[in-house]
Structure formats: C-alpha cells, structure tokens
Chains A and B, each alone.
Chain A
C-alpha cells in the first residue's frame, strides 16, 4: 500500500488527497469539510458572543445599552463583594463537584472497563439511561428523597437510626453538591471510560509481569494513560456545574444563589444587560483561570515526579497491595443506586393518587397518564419538541460530521482553533447563549420560533456530535479504506462501503445524544422559541401553578421513548443490542 496510489497513509493516520493547488492551499489552512461548522458557529456563536462582549463595555439603559464605552461593569464586579463572592462561591462549589465526580466516575469507569467483563457495556447503558429523562423532574425527585420528611429521613427514622429528621440533607451546600454530582456524573463517566478502554492491556500486563504490584501498576501505568479522559471529565463537570443555576436554586435554599442566576437576573428584572454580559465574560474567564491553573499544576507535579530522586532498589521491592475489598465495585454499585433512585422515584410517583408529584404517596392511579394523553397542550408541545429534535439531529449531523472528518483525517493550520471552536457551546453558559441569540435574532430581524430554536439546538448538539464521530474515526484503522481504494474502489464507493458502515453506530449514537439534549433543553429554548413551546418550556411554565404527578408521567414517557429510540437505532445498525451502540458512543466521548 503506497501513499502514491491512495493518497494517504501517513503514520499518524491522517489522510492527504491530491487536489488542485488552490484547494490544496485552502486544505492546509482549513479543509472544506470544516466550513459548514465554521460558518454556522461564526453566525450563531461567535457573532452573538462578540456582541455580548462589546455590550459588557457599554453603559446600562433600561433593557438597553447606551453606547458609551466604559469599564464600569468590570470595576463593579471587582469592587462589589456580592459579585466577586458569588463568582468565587460558584467556582468553589463547582471545583468540589468536579473533584467528587472525577473520583466516583473514575471508579465506575475503571470497574466497567477492567472488572465487569461482558457486563461492562450493560452497566454503561444503565449509566447512560439515567440521563434520559426530564432534568427538572429528576431534580424534583431528589427533593422527595432528601426532604425533611423525605424518603431517606423516613427510612432512617423507621430503622431507628435517628429520632429527628436530618436537616442538612436538603437546602444547603451538601444538597447543592449532591445534586450537581447527580446531574453531571453520567456525562463525566463517558470520557474516562473511553480513555481507560483505549489503554493497551499489554502495557498493564507487562507492568505486572515485571513484578509491579497492582496499586503501583495503576499509579504508574493506568492512571497516566487515562489522564486525558480525566481532564475532559473534570473540565466538563466543572464548566457545566458552574453554569447550572436551576439545580442549586431548587435544592440549595439560601445557599442556592449561583453566578448563573445573577447573570439571568441581569437580563430579567434587573434590566442591566451590560452588567450581565460582563458577569458572563468574567465567568468564562474564571473557567479559563481555574482550568488553566489546574493544568499548570498537573504539569508541575509531573515535572517534580520526573526529577524526584529515585530510591535505589534494595533487593526485592516489597509489593504494594490493594486492599482485598472490592472498593471500585462497591463505589459503582452505590453510584448506580444514587443515579437510579430519583428515576425510580419519578416512576413510582407518576402513579401517586395525591396531586403532589412527591410525598405523601396516596394510593395508585393512572389518572395522570390519562390526563396527559387527553391534554391537547401536551400533544402540541410534544409535536413541536419532536419536530425540533428531528431537525436538530439532521442539522447537527450535517454540520458536525464533515468537521469531525476534517479533524480526524486532516492536518491543517487552523486545526487547534477549530477544535476549540467546536467545543465553544459547551463552555458557554446556556443563559448567555440564549440571551446572545435572542439579541442577534432580533437585531437582524429573524422571527423567533421553531426555526430559530432548531438553529440554536444545532449549535448546542454539534460539539457532542463532533466528539463522538471524530473519536470513532480516529479509532478506525485507515488501512481498511485504503485497501478498498487499492482494490479499485472510487473514493465515494470506499466511503460508502467501508467507512460508513464502521461509522454508523457512532452516527446513531451521536444522533441519540443530540435528540436527548434537544428534547430536554430549556435555558436557550426559552429565549428562542417565540410563540411556540416545547415540552421543557411547558413543564417549566407548569411549575408556577404547582407541579403535579403528570410531570412524572411526562418524564417516564420520555425515558421509555428514549430507550425505545436506542433500541430502534440498535436494530437499524443491525447490531441487535443497544449496548454496543452506547459503547461506541462512550468510546467516542
């Protein structure tokens, strides 16, 4: 196989193609495949965010900005205890959340990859399934579990372990951290799972063969090789937890005020857009400082370890043994219980005879399901959600897959900026994206509605699609496609008959992930949906009149629907099992 025939096969797996000189020059800067993403993100993310950054340097008017340049907003943030304290508090809480998530998630990923054998993918499916339901309803279920007369307190009192309910479980930092860990743990397990699965087992075996104890093998081989996954998981958890203000408000009581809520309020009742914009910019700078500082710390630690004087071996080293307890398995079981107890609560309380979606439980009824199916509103918002979800998946794949192909197969000048751009929507708080998009759509006169929401959702799901598809492509042996080319297939036929079948599970996985994100998205949708409504917007609007068990029923239907979708996708992929599809998704993440 030579590069001369196929035009590819450098050692790093990237491809080169013969092309016209002009196109070749363009390819070395930015491949054509990346253009849809670049153009789309430039219009939907960079321009609105740039507008917001500019606004952060303007004077506030009433729901307006006055175009007088000033640094007043930033000075206010630095000089006002309220903003600096709340920013630091948010970053601090998120740091704790990210640390807990990485430790617990790593133990889960380790168990799934190294200790569960064929059961590993099934457990991964369970972890993923915990995501597939309404975010708000799952949060609400947590309050049913943690409340003063909640399930935990009642169980502890019934067991005689306590006399009075534990007050700290809900409405405080404990509840905020527990809830944020609950929400973002499944997402963080995936990258760590992928990096652990990518480790060549022979390296671990070689370490053991050379006499290293399991713990030392873990510290010197497994952990360093999985650091990329840990870094990604940490960054995801940290950023997502920092930007989340709905969960802390719901369970945090007086401590539940986070910077995201303050930003949202500036774009609401406080009517101070410039200050809101400056706070958003400060928040993103805070992310960069914390994550950059941690990366630097990691590098310094590595350097210190590298240059640390080694002790001369004295005879046979004493083996360092892991305790005989199955620690990681126990953590995994407890974490699964933790992830599933709110879902089980949602399912059980969807049959609650009382009007309340939580305790007390007053008999079994199917009333709420019946009410839901009879509701014309629900039918309307569901069809809107499904339409938006379907278009988002198609649009996201059209934008994301060519970019993923470019990132996986090409070396070009703007590769690193493109990688960062593709992750941009994840690093930006939802409320900021929502406000920025609303501003931009109004500015250019695009009517808000289903179309603008689809565009917004495509923006939100594309990073995940790029991640999933790109990683799958990178894991794919480039020689397979080259072999087809060497045997006379045209590039198009080689792609259709070789690459596409290999890529199909990743495409389906990415599509499912995109659909799940789209169907549960609220923060951005609320700004872009105009005269329409989606299921999450409908649920949020119901909160004001008091939640009922019909919302639990909605969540159960969403869960069943999502699992059904996974099953159908698995069938479509002719894999027969959803586990493989999700494994692909996790590998890619």
Chain B
C-alpha cells in the first residue's frame, strides 16, 4: 500500500539534493532514499514509456508478457506464437487497481475506459505510442479517434472490444418497459435485478434522471440521481454479479435486469430463458481497452501483444469467444446473428460512449469514490 507524506516539500528538496546541484552535506538518509526511489522510478518509467522503442523491436519481440484481464478475452489461439502470455484474471473492475499495486507484476491490463483516470491518478499508466502498432489503422475511426481513450491529447488506452449496457426483460411476464415509470409498476416489485456495479447502475439512473453527461454529475445532479435510485429500491430483488442474470431469468427469479452486457441476451437464451428480450432504454456504451503499465518489464512484448489483438483474425477469435463487439469492423461477422449490427455509429447514437467518472476531489464533478459510497448506502439501506 503506497503511503503519502504530508510534507511534500521536504521530499522535493531531498530529491533536488540528489541532483547535480545538490550538495553532499545537505543529503539526508531519507533524502537519499527518496532520490534513489525517484531514480528507480524514472528508470522504470523510461523503460515503460518505450522511449526509443522501434517498430522493428516490437515486431521482433519474444518471450514472456504478463497480462491482466477478464477471462472472457483469454483466447490463446489469437496470441503471437513467439510470446509467452501469462494471463491473470480480474473479476471486478476495481481489482485492476489492487492487482497492479506491485510495480512490474503486469505489463498490460484490459479494462474499460473509465479506469484510465484511476490508473493515472495512481501513476501506473503511460501513454501508448500508436505508431508502434501496425494494426492501429484497423481500429474503426469511431473508436480510434474517440476522446474517451485520450487524456491531455495522448492515447492512454487502445480500444479492444466494446459494448453497451441495455435493459433485458422477460417478454412472457411483462411488456417492454418504455420509461422509468413502467419499471416502477407494482407488477415489477421485487422482480428486477441490478448488477453489483456502482458505475453501471448510477450511470443508468443518471440517464433516467435526464442527465446526458451521466459520468459528469454535479453535486445537485448526483444527489438527484441517488434519490431516484433509492426510490427504486422496492422494485429490486437482487444485486447480483455480472454473469448471474441468465440463471436469474432462467429460474424466474427476475423479470427485468439492467444494465446488462452485450452478450447477456445470448447467454440468457442459451440458459433456457428464451423469452428474454432487450430494449435500449437508458442504454450507454463502454469500450474495453488495452493499456500499458508504467512499470511494465516487457514493453516490446506488450506492444506486440496489443497489436496482435487488433488484427482481423484475432478480433474474430476474441469476438466469437467473448461475444463482445469488435473495434475492428471486419470482425463483426464473428458475432452471433442476433447481436450483429450494421453500423456502430447508429448503436452509439442510442447508447452514448461514456468517458468514465473522475477521481479528482474538489472539482465540479462528484468523484467516483463518492459513487461507491452512495452505492454502499443504497445496498445497506
């Protein structure tokens, strides 16, 4: 667990003392340690920033590369044969943050774009040099040029797969909900399931509350959203893990679930809940991205891995395995028929791509930490 000291000035002074201008007499033990730390960090950062790394080096990379991502994207057949990919799993978004605590454990992570700010705040991310990715051009411009993958004009996340959170309902039990009022119907009391994901649920309710910039909520907007969410509590039966909803629908426990993953409806049908249908009510989109960690020990291999994820062949394999939408449009055909779409622009028009929630306190927007706290209160009320 990293620690912060309140007296940053002293550390800064110590760091300066270790530099060329620093006198030996002023060098304290703590200052020396801080200086060494800074030196080590800059060496690591230098390595991870891929300074001087060439496309040829990336192409020639071989050996181990450590990836942290969801199991659904683990498709060894799509990986370059000369890389030894060690894949570790995260089960929640936030695990990305705890599991990358130790510098050097992982080279790259796969997570939705909303985690960029959190990882940057922890100083664990470096910008991606897209010129080292031969297949960057295969990414659909809609995602390649998206602002949600950039910070300060630099790309921090390479789009990998995308999807949208939508509403599912059991058409044998209820008609398609068209508004929040429909969902508040007494008929649906204790018949609705929500995922245990503060980001997804509060974003959806912010949209219900009429806030289009659902990830950038002012204090008043946030309070109104949470009030709306709390008023919805009587309708809720479960706060479940992602992936549970096919069984919940199949067992008849819930009649409505939202927001759900792109592949959820297919899984529901496979699980026997054939009457489950979807609507785009309060839908929004996300894009799962590949990000390079600052302390990565195998940077060329990480770039090679990331590049391989963008090729059409690889996107087809990961799409077929995960049922997540590809960022390379040529792989759309790998989706099951019921999930295929003609234009991602049209989908994104109905389900806008969200940037993620800030983690900075003191600004105009309510930070993500408060989202989690409000979610705790909602669950425990």
Does B110 make an interface contact (CB < 8 A)?
no
Does A389 make an interface contact (CB < 8 A)?
no
Q: For A541, what are the chain B residues with a Cβ–Cβ distance below 8 Å?
A: 70-71, 89-91
Contact among B106, B239, B272, B376 for A254, CB-based, below 8 A: B239
The range of chain B's interface size is 35 or more
Q: Given the complex of chains A and B, what is the CA–CA distance between A191 and B159 in angstroms?
A: 55
Does A71 make an interface contact (CB < 8 A)?
no
Q: How many residues of A contact B (CB 8 A)?
A: 75
Shortest Cβ gap from B147 to chain A (Å): 23
Does B56 make an interface contact (CB < 8 A)?
no
* Chain A 45-66: CB-based contact to B (< 8 A → 1; otherwise 0): 0000001000100000111111
Shortest Cβ gap from A349 to chain B (Å): 11
- Please count the residue pairs between chain A and chain B whose beta carbons lie under 8 angstroms apart in the complex: 208
Q: Given the complex of chains A and B, what is the CA–CA distance between A147 and B93 in angstroms?
A: 28
Does B94 make an interface contact (CB < 8 A)?
yes
B5 x A545 contact (CB < 8 A): no
B376 x A262 contact (CB < 8 A): yes
Does B277 make an interface contact (CB < 8 A)?
no
Q: Which residue of B lies closest to A449 (CB)?
A: B105
Q: Most chain-A Cβ atoms within 10 A of its Cβ — which of B90, B253, B270, B373?
A: B253
Does B97 make an interface contact (CB < 8 A)?
yes
Contact among B6, B95, B233 for A268, CB-based, below 8 A: B95
Does B4 make an interface contact (CB < 8 A)?
yes
A531 x B376 contact (CB < 8 A): no
**Do A356 and B376 form a contact, CB below 8 Å, given A270-B369, A545-B322?**
no
Q: Given the complex of chains A and B, what is the CA–CA distance between A523 and B255 in angstroms?
A: 32
Q: For A441, what are the chain B residues with a Cβ–Cβ distance below 8 Å?
A: 102
B244 x A82 contact (CB < 8 A): no
Q: For B233, what are the chain A residues with a Cβ–Cβ distance below 8 Å?
A: 254
Q: For A357, what are the chain B residues with a Cβ–Cβ distance below 8 Å?
A: 247
**Do A55 and B1 form a contact, CB below 8 Å, given A147-B252, A359-B250?**
yes
Q: Which residue of A lies closest to B70 (CB)?
A: A544
**Do A547 and B247 form a contact, CB below 8 Å, given A262-B380, A447-B102?**
yes
Contact among A270, A358, A537, A547 for B251, CB-based, below 8 A: A358
Q: Given the complex of chains A and B, what is the CA–CA distance between A375 and B200 in angstroms?
A: 32
Question: Restricting to B170-205, which residues have a CB under 8 Å from any CB of A?
Answer: 190, 196, 198
Q: Given the complex of chains A and B, what is the CA–CA distance between A250 and B372 in angstroms?
A: 19
Q: Given the complex of chains A and B, what is the CA–CA distance between A531 and B106 in angstroms?
A: 7
Shortest Cβ gap from B293 to chain A (Å): 12
Does A542 make an interface contact (CB < 8 A)?
yes
Does A438 make an interface contact (CB < 8 A)?
yes
A355 x B271 contact (CB < 8 A): yes
B253 x A531 contact (CB < 8 A): no
Q: For A435, what are the chain B residues with a Cβ–Cβ distance below 8 Å?
A: 1, 98
Q: For A171, what are the chain B residues with a Cβ–Cβ distance below 8 Å?
A: 237-238, 253
**Do A148 and B372 form a contact, CB below 8 Å, given A55-B1, A531-B105?**
no
Q: Given the complex of chains A and B, what is the CA–CA distance between A537 and B88 in angstroms?
A: 9
Q: For A439, what are the chain B residues with a Cβ–Cβ distance below 8 Å?
A: 1
Q: Which residue of A lies closest to B96 (CB)?
A: A268
Does B337 make an interface contact (CB < 8 A)?
no
Q: Given the complex of chains A and B, what is the CA–CA distance between A350 and B95 in angstroms?
A: 30
Contact among A85, A356, A545 for B380, CB-based, below 8 A: A85
**Do A438 and B88 form a contact, CB below 8 Å, given A64-B3, A144-B251, A544-B71?**
no
Q: For B102, what are the chain A residues with a Cβ–Cβ distance below 8 Å?
A: 438, 441-442, 447-448, 530
Does B267 make an interface contact (CB < 8 A)?
yes
Shortest Cβ gap from A9 to chain B (Å): 51
A269 x B4 contact (CB < 8 A): no
Complex A-B: 17 CB contacts under 8 Å: A67-B5, A82-B376, A82-B377, A144-B251, A147-B252, A167-B190, A268-B372, A271-B372, A354-B272, A355-B270, A442-B1, A527-B98, A541-B91, A543-B244, A545-B243, A546-B267, A547-B247
- Given A545-B322, A546-B267: 11 more A-B contacts, CB < 8 Å: A67-B3, A171-B237, A254-B233, A269-B368, A270-B369, A271-B372, A272-B369, A531-B106, A532-B86, A533-B87, A543-B91
Q: Contact residues of B with A, CB < 8 Å?
A: 1-6, 66, 68, 70-72, 74, 76, 86-95, 97-99, 101-102, 104-106, 118, 121-122, 190, 196, 198, 233, 236-244, 246-247, 250-253, 263-264, 267, 270-272, 322, 359, 368-369, 371-373, 376-377, 379-380
Which 3 A-B pairs give the minimum distances between C-beta atoms? A541-B89, A268-B94, A356-B271
